[in-house]
Amino acid sequence: MYKEAGKTKFQIDLRQHLRSQNLSGNFIHLVCEIAEASKYVVNSIRTGDLGVAGTSNLYGEEHVTLDVLSDRIMQKRLLHSGVVSTIASEKTDEIVTISSNPQGLFSVVYDSLDGASLVELNLAVGTIVGIYQGNDLLQPGRNMVGAMYILYGPRVSLVYSAGKGVFEFTMNQLMEFNLTREHISMSPSANIYSPGGLRAKYSPQHDRVINYLEDKGAKLRYSGGFVADINQVLLKGKGIFMYPGLQDAPQGKLRLIFELNPMAFLVEQAGGAATNGVTPILDIVPEVLDQRAPIYIGCREDVEKAAELLGAG
Ligand code: AFP
């Protein structure tokens, strides 16, 4: 733990916190660079300034869509961070090698603006990041050394874990991230559920999971934004998010590497669980970058019950 002279724990900023966690300097720098990049994303979302990444487009420079701009912002930051050997973006679906010598460096997978289409509806969207040591991105999520997301909602919050618990930071008026929650932990049982996908395309087994949750009195909470929905499950601590395999999409919609692994890392760190119905999400061995998987993620008891009902044939 830590005690800053004259400071309560909630005046601790991101860098001060990271330094108190006995983490490598390169990891601290990486997380702070991603946090810095999010400030440009916030500005673009709030002002609709879709100029070239990080500069004004008052003079008619190329207009880009918000998700393209946020991808450029993230890529530029990671390319110049000095601590990243390989990156892969959900948007481009390609692996970019920055350094041939991965010694002491990280590989980063990211979805720079998940749910981008929701911005025009003024709904919350987010950036999702997964961090590996070395340069192999097609590892099981269990091998990640860190994961984080930034949620652009009524507030801007950053949630991360480096394997020593889950912490939340909230952006203040100076665009600094200050600690607002520490050692986030989930209850064993859910009272809210987030059912993705089209009910008409559910399997009978998945219908059983929905009925189980309804029968126990769980309330439906679903925004259509993965980061916001996971954030609600994680911070309320009493929820389960599902995006199942559908009749016409047996692997569901969400991407293993860019969306599911980082969130599964965070939720497991908070005492929850995440499965594709058969295997823990973090134990799935990825074969391709854009691999998708069904997901049941949240309170451990309900995730385990879902796997039981799905496997009941
Ligand atoms: P986009 O990133 O293409 O907008 O999709 C967002 C998303 O992948 C994820 O954020 C949501 O959980 C999911 O789609 C919602 O999908 P449905 O609209 O099919 O429920």
Question: Is residue 79 pLDDT above 90, yes or no?
Answer: yes
Tell whether 4 is covered by a domain: no
Among residues 128, 160, 181, the one where a domain terminates is 181
Greatest Cα pair distance in the chain: 61
pLDDT of residue 56: 47
Q: Model confidence at 8, in pLDDT bands (50, 70, 90)?
A: low
Split into its structural domains, the chain has a count of 2
Question: Is residue 87 pLDDT above 50, yes or no?
Answer: yes
Nearest CA to ligand 1 atom 16: 224
pTM of the model: 0.93
Q: Model confidence at 78, in pLDDT bands (50, 70, 90)?
A: very high
pLDDT of residue 274: 98
Smallest CA-to-CA distance from 45 within 76, 63, 67 is with 67
61-65 average pLDDT score: 66
Report how far ligand 1's centroid is from the alpha carbon of 198 (Å): 12
- Read off the pLDDT of residues 291-309 as tens digits, 9 standing for 90 and up: 999 999 999 999 999 999 9
Pairing of strands 192-195, 239-243: parallel
Q: What percent of the chain has pLDDT over 90?
A: 87
249-258 average pLDDT score: 98
- Read off the pLDDT of residues 129-161 as tens digits, 9 standing for 90 and up: 999 998 999 999 999 999 999 999 999 999 999
pLDDT of residue 178: 97
pLDDT of residue 163: 98
Answer yes or no: do 159 and 227 share one domain.
Answer: no
Among residues 125, 156, 181, the one where a domain terminates is 181
Answer yes or no: do 84 and 171 share one domain.
Answer: yes
Report the distance separating Cα 205 and Cα 216, nearest Å: 17
**What is the number of residues in the chain?**
313
Answer yes or no: do 17 and 165 share one domain.
Answer: yes
Answer yes or no: do 60 and 84 share one domain.
Answer: yes
Smallest CA-to-CA distance from 88 within 262, 242, 226, 246 is with 262
Answer yes or no: do 71 and 166 share one domain.
Answer: yes
- Read off the pLDDT of residues 254-282 as tens digits, 9 standing for 90 and up: 999 999 999 999 999 999 999 999 999 99
Report how far ligand 1's centroid is from the alpha carbon of 225 (Å): 6
Answer yes or no: do 148 and 242 share one domain.
Answer: no
The boundaries of the domain holding residue 91 are 9-181
pLDDT of residue 9: 57
Report the distance separating Cα 12 and Cα 22, nearest Å: 15
pLDDT of residue 62: 59
Answer yes or no: do 153 and 242 share one domain.
Answer: no
Nearest CA to ligand 1 atom 2: 115
Tell whether 187 is covered by a domain: no
Report how far ligand 1's centroid is from the alpha carbon of 17 (Å): 32
Report how far ligand 1's centroid is from the alpha carbon of 226 (Å): 6
What is the C-alpha end-to-end distance of the chain, expressed in Å?
Answer: 48
Report the atom number in ligand 1 closest to the C-alpha of 117.
4
Count CB atoms within 10 A of the CB of residue 221. Answer: 17
The single residue listed with the structure tokens 């009902």 is 309
The average confidence (pLDDT) of the chain is 92
- Which H or E element spans position 262? helix 261-269
The CA-based dihedral angle spanning residues 244, 239, 35, 55, taken in that order and rounded to the nearest 10 degrees? 60
The CA distances from residue 92 to 2, 52, 74, in Å, are 40, 18, 12
CATH number at 168 reads 3.30.540.10
Answer yes or no: do 46 and 145 share one domain.
Answer: yes
Answer yes or no: do 176 and 278 share one domain.
Answer: no
Tell whether 275 is covered by a domain: yes
Count CB atoms within 10 A of the CB of residue 120. Answer: 9
The CA distances from residue 62 to 17, 38, 57, 59, in Å, are 38, 21, 7, 9
- As a 3-state breakdown, the chain gives helix, strand, coil percent values, each rounded to 5, of 35, 25, 40
Tell whether 2 is covered by a domain: no
Question: Is residue 312 pLDDT above 60, yes or no?
Answer: yes
Tell whether 1 is covered by a domain: no
Ligand 1 interacting residues, C-beta cut-off 6 A: 114-117, 196-197, 224-226, 253-254
Task: Assign 142 to helix, strand or coil.
Answer: helix
Report how far ligand 1's centroid is from the alpha carbon of 4 (Å): 41
- Read off the pLDDT of residues 188-240 as tens digits, 9 standing for 90 and up: 999 999 999 999 999 999 999 999 999 999 999 999 999 999 999 999 999 99
Report the distance separating Cα 166 and Cα 159, nearest Å: 7
Answer yes or no: do 172 and 201 share one domain.
Answer: no
CATH number at 271 reads 3.40.190.80
pLDDT of residue 53: 46
Task: Assign 67 to helix, strand or coil.
Answer: helix
Give, for ligand 1, the residue of 110, 226, 240, 292 to mutate: max count of ligand atoms closer than 8 Å to Cβ: 226
Answer yes or no: do 176 and 260 share one domain.
Answer: no
Answer yes or no: do 246 and 287 share one domain.
Answer: yes
Q: Model confidence at 93, in pLDDT bands (50, 70, 90)?
A: confident
